[in-house]
Amino acid sequence: MFEQNLAIKVISVNAKKVIEEIELLNLRDKKRRIVSRGDYVEIPIVNCDNLREVLSNISVDYEIVCQKNPVYSRPKSLEEALEKIIEKNELDKIRKYLPKTYKVLGDVILVKMNDCLKNYAKEIGKALLEINPHCKSVWWDRGKRGAIRKPEVELIAGKGGETIHREGGCIYKFDVSKVMFSPGNQAERIRMGKIVGREVVVDMFAGIGYFTIPVAKKAKKVYAIEINPESYHYLLENLKLNSVNSVVPILGDSMYVTPERVADRVIMGHVNCHEFLPVAINALKEKGWLHYHESVPEAVIERPVRRIISAAEKEGKEVKIECVRKVKNYSPGVVHIVVDAYIY
């Protein structure tokens, strides 16, 4: 018997017992799902020599059938999904280059890939959608560009880049082809939402509201400054979606539009913003908290602290470094850190 998609058809009341016996015989075809059809259950099995003889010890009545409409199990890995799409010899050539991880943001997938996979990009996109059936599109993430960190992405499967992502009780709407969103910063966004009090906060690089939204749920007022019009558009959308009314959105360059002497706390969430330190310090009242982010080589890990102290001294201020926290790995040998500093 060499038919494909074989299954044992058994009356429903006997299904559990037969499944256990099939498992013991190591004949379950786990690529297909067990399905119910009326009063019967079809249990997928693999073919083998002397199949009927191997099955002869099953203790209840059954029938071997060839499934006309098998239901396949969802693949658990990218490699498993690609086995259905790419010939084995081709897959073997690229196996070691396949991405090990990818980001799911709402119903959109972002994946970083080696350029040698360019000719297989569509197949990889299709496979990722099969693994994640709730998602609508897959984008090849080629990094960020410029001071506003505009995404460089390419659509490789499905349609649409706009999505709604939920985390930590907050809602973020954005388009992955227009603005960036870093899931790796989630813990820091949640932390900021917890430590802020009933105070005035300046978020100097607000983006779509990464820190503004969680902070605004508790703060007295948040000045949210963003230079990128597309990010600013989604910032306004997200303020509505999260029903926060304590935010003053400002479209412009933080170097020139940051209000002075208003804040109890200033957030500098951009990883390349040391030139803005004097502006941030002047945004504080007589004293207050500064949360300064920087991507820094591990060889000069003390650089962010030195920069804060130097900028504060020039403004006639003292500094107390509360803590230096690693947010995530940024690139080989480079880490994204945040420094909590009290300026007085």
Provide the CATH number for the domain around residue 258: 3.40.50.150
What CATH code is carried by the domain that includes residue 33?
Answer: 3.30.70.2580
**What is the residue-averaged pLDDT of the chain?**
92
DSSP 60-86: S--EEEE-SS--BPPPSSHHHHHTTTS
Residue 174 domain-assigned (yes or no)? no
Residue (of 220, 219, 252, 218) closest to 235 by Cα position = 252
pLDDT at 50 over 90: no
Share above pLDDT 90 across residues of the chain, in percent, rounded to a whole number: 74
Residue (of 163, 161, 181) closest to 173 by Cα position = 163
pLDDT at 148 over 70: no
Task: Judge if 219 and 309 occupy the same domain.
Answer: yes
Q: Please state the rounded mean pLDDT for residues 40-51.
A: 87
What CATH code is carried by the domain that includes residue 116?
Answer: 3.30.300.110
What tens digit of pLDDT does each residue of 29-44 get?
887 889 988 899 999 9
Task: Judge if 18 and 141 occupy the same domain.
Answer: no
pLDDT for position 80 = 87
pLDDT at 199 over 80: yes
Task: Judge if 129 and 219 occupy the same domain.
Answer: no
pLDDT at 146 over 80: no
Residue 247 domain-assigned (yes or no)? yes
Task: Judge if 153 and 261 occupy the same domain.
Answer: no
Residue 255 domain-assigned (yes or no)? yes
pLDDT for position 3 = 58
User: H-helix or E-strand containing 132?
Assistant: none
Q: Please state the rounded mean pLDDT for residues 45-62.
A: 83
Task: Judge if 53 and 85 occupy the same domain.
Answer: no
pLDDT at 224 over 90: yes
Output phi, psi for 104, to 5 deg. -110, 115
- Dig out the tokens for 249 from the structure: 């959105």
Domain of 54, in residue numbers: 6-66
Residue 72 domain-assigned (yes or no)? no
- Is residue 306 classed as helix, strand or coil in its secondary structure? helix
Position 147 confidence tier, pLDDT thresholds 50, 70, 90: low
pLDDT at 168 over 70: yes
Residue (of 76, 131, 143) closest to 104 by Cα position = 131
Output phi, psi for 58, to 5 deg. -65, 135
User: Structurally, how many domains does the chain consist of?
Assistant: 3
Find the farthest-apart pair of alpha carbons in the chain and give their distance in angstroms, rounded: 90
Question: Considering the entire predicted model, what is its pTM?
Answer: 0.76
Helices in the chain by DSSP H: which ranges? 15-24, 51-54, 78-82, 88-94, 121-131, 186-195, 212-216, 229-241, 254-257, 277-283, 303-314
pLDDT for position 203 = 98
Task: Judge if 58 and 90 occupy the same domain.
Answer: no
